[in-house]
């Protein structure tokens, strides 16, 4: 098997020779990791699909380089793409907008008028922040009609969604954000660097760490977000305290419960109705930043064994701060998640995780990627993952920190059982939940019209 192929030819006649535009993130964003992963994935997909890819540098659109935007659009027109694909996720195609009069229009759906395939993680909060552009940081700057404005963009008939969380799809449909029939569910997402590493494992396994955590915490984004005494500040405090009482609870439902405690007058006055743009700023900061940072800190504090910390490239100061405050935490530095992270997963006996708080019913791609690499993930209970994998899935999730520590102790002292379970989930994920097959099917459908 060569370095780019999957080991067997699955090229689709429906995509052979097709011209597809693929978004490439800026080198400076997310530590450059998203960019490198996109380049790795696009090389594999181009070979697998037997098509031609054109890389669209999203940097000019993000930094407001008008001349650079024109150059990218001119290059696209010369390439004449038949469709576009958002890599590594659906955030980046939304950045590819340019001014037309007073409106920002998308270069794929509005200018080129081609199908756009969007794989996304937690669209419920990401889409409002992307579509509404710069969300207001205070109620006085809030605008109305947020639901309609977001819905008018993400339900474009040329957009084909790929979602990994049933809770997001359900909530977006309930709120009227998502009405499109073009939604495909992909419940266990991993990518080629992890699959490739899992297939190259040596028969004799060696481990560097017993327990590790991989990810960002970004405590700096969770501090002093809202004015003291504000309704938004009370909501944030209530969500954090509720999650301490129930660490496996998803923050979005907790936020909805706290909203119900506000009077209609206060929600109207503080611009905390779903149709207010300020609400989506508040929701994003509470769920994605505040609850995420506090949830991960609570998990790390609760682990009863030494924990190696990897990551923190978005906020390395937080990792240093935590390692200084808690003797059982050891910061190992940041690793590249296209080339180095698969090995970290495979050489760690147990990778504990507090799933990104933006998710509701499913895990992030992190646990499936860990298993794909040959590692073993242990994370809070998520119903989508449990439904997908049954008893093996339940075995690698916990409903309390006490259960987490019991499972850590058990699996560290039952090596063969842990390895067998890891191998079983790796086989299921890599065999039955290949993200490339999902993208191929959706892209074929998009091109077929």
Pick from 175-184, 376-385, 427-436: least confident: 427-436
pLDDT of amino acid 312: 77
pLDDT over threshold 50, residue 5? no
Whose CA is closest to 126, among 3, 281, 20?
281
Percent of the chain at pLDDT exceeding 90: 80
The pLDDT value recorded for residue 1 is 27
Cis peptide leading into residue 88 (ω within 30°): yes
- pLDDT at 2 exceeding the cut of 90: no
Residue that is written with structure tokens 């793409």 in the block: 81
pLDDT band at 14 (very low <50, low <70, confident <90, very high): confident
The stretch 187-195 carries a mean pLDDT of 89
For residue 197, how many other CB atoms are within 10 A of its CB?
A: 20
Please give the average per-residue pLDDT across 88-112, as a whole number: 93
On average, the pLDDT of the chain sits at 93
Average pLDDT over residues 400-409: 99
Q: How large is the average pLDDT for residues 33-58? A: 93
367, 345 Cβ separation under 8 angstroms: no
pLDDT at 7 over 60: no
Which pLDDT tens digit goes with each residue over 159-170? 999 999 999 999
Q: How far apart are CA 224 and CA 245, in angstroms?
A: 22
CB-count burial class (<10 Å; 0-12, 13-18, 19+) for 368: buried
State yes or no: pLDDT of 393 exceeds 80.
yes
pLDDT above 60 for 12? no
Which tens digits make up the pLDDT trace of 230-264? 999 999 999 999 999 999 999 999 999 999 999 99
Q: Judging by DSSP bridges, how do beta strands 83-85 and 52-57 pair with one another?
A: unpaired
Q: State yes or no: pLDDT of 8 exceeds 60.
A: no
The predicted pLDDT at position 221 comes to 85
Mean pLDDT of 296-312: 95
pLDDT at 203: 77
Note the pLDDT of residue 220. 84
For residue 202, the model assigns a pLDDT of 80
pLDDT at 390: 98
Q: What is the pLDDT of residues 124-145, one digit of tens each?
A: 999 999 999 889 999 999 999 9
Beta partners for residue 212, in sequence order = 308, 351
Q: How confident is the model at residue 10 (pLDDT cuts 50, 70, 90)?
A: very low
The pLDDT assigned to 338 comes to: 81
pLDDT in tens, 208-239: 999 999 999 988 888 878 999 999 999 999 99
pLDDT band at 435 (very low <50, low <70, confident <90, very high): confident
Residue 348 has pLDDT above 90, yes or no: yes
Four-CA torsion 437, 439, 440, 443, nearest 10 degrees: 160
Q: 202: closest CA among 369, 335, 374?
A: 374
**Residue 223 exposed, middle or buried by CB count within 10 Å (0-12, 13-18, 19+):** exposed
Residues 6+ apart with CB under 8 A from 151: 176, 177, 178, 179
Q: Looking at residue 3, what is its pLDDT? A: 34
HEC states along the chain?
Answer: CCCCCCCCCCCCCCCCCCEEEEEECCCCHHHHHHHHHHHHHHHHHHHHHCCEEEEEECHHHHHCCHHHHHHHHHHHHHHCCCEEECCCCCHHHHHCEEEECCEEEEHHHHHHCCCEEEEECCHHHHHHHHHCCCCCCCHHHCCCCHHHHHHHHHCCCCEEEEECCHHHHHHHHHHCCCCCCCEEECCCCCCHHHHHHHHCCCCCCCCCEEEEEEECCCHHHHCCCCCCCCHHHHHHHHHHHHHHHCCCCCHHHHHHHHHHCCCHHHHHHCCCCCCCHHHHHHHHHHHHHHHHHHHHHHHHHHCCCCEEEEECCCCHHHHHHHHHHCCCEEEEECCCCCCCHHHHHHCEEEEEECCCCCCCCCCCCHHHHHHHHCCCEEEECCHHHHHHHHHHHHHCEECCHHHHHHHHHHHHHCHHHHHHHHHHHHHHHHHHCCHHHHHHHHHHHHHHC
């Amino acid at each position: 098997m060569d370095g780019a192929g999957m080991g067997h030819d699955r090229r689709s006649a429906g995509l052979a020779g097709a011209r597809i535009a693929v978004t490439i993130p800026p080198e400076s964003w997310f530590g450059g990791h998203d960019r490198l992963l996109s380049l790795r994935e696009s090389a594999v997909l181009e070979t697998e699909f037997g098509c031609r890819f054109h890389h669209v540098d999203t940097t000019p659109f993000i930094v407001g380089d008008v001349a650079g935007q024109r150059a990218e659009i001119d290059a696209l027109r010369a390439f004449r793409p038949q469709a576009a694909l958002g890599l590594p996720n659906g955030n980046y195609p939304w950045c590819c907008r340019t001014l037309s009069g007073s409106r920002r229009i998308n270069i794929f759906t509005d200018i080129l008028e081609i199908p756009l395939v969007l794989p996304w993680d937690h669209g419920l909060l990401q889409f409002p922040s992307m579509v509404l552009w710069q969300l207001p940081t205070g109620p006085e700057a809030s605008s109305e009609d947020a639901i309609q404005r977001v819905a008018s963009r993400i339900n474009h008939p040329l957009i084909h969604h790929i979602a990994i969380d049933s809770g997001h799809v359900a909530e977006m449909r309930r709120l009227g954000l998502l009405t499109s029939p073009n939604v495909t569910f992909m419940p266990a997402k991993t990518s080629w660097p992890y699959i490739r590493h899992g297939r190259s494992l040596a028969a004799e396994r060696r481990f560097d760490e017993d327990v590790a955590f991989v990810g960002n915490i970004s405590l700096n984004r969770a501090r002093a977000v809202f004015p003291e005494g504000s309704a938004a500040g009370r909501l944030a405090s209530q969500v954090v305290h509720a999650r301490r009482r129930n660490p496996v609870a998803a923050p979005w439902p907790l936020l909805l419960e706290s909203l119900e405690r506000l009077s209609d007058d206060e929600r109207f006055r503080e611009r905390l109705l779903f149709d207010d743009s300020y609400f989506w700023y508040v929701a994003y900061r509470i769920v994605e930043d505040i609850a995420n940072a506090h949830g991960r800190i609570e998990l790390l504090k609760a682990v009863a064994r030494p924990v190696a910390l990897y990551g923190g490239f978005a906020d390395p100061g937080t990792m240093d701060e935590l390692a200084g405050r808690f003797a059982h935490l050891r910061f190992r530095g940041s690793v590249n998640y296209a080339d180095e992270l698969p090995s970290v997963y495979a050489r760690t006996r147990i990778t504990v995780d507090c799933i990104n708080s933006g998710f509701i019913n499913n895990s992030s791609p992190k646990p499936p990627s860990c298993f794909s690499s040959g590692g073993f993930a242990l994370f809070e209970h998520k119903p989508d993952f449990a439904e997908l994998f049954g008893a093996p899935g339940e075995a690698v999730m916990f409903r309390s920190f006490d259960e987490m520590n019991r499972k850590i102790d058990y699996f560290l002292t039952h090596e063969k059982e842990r390895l067998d379970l890891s191998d079983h989930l790796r086989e299921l994920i890599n065999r039955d939940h290949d993200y490339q097959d999902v993208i191929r099917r959706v892209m074929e459908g998009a091109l077929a019209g």
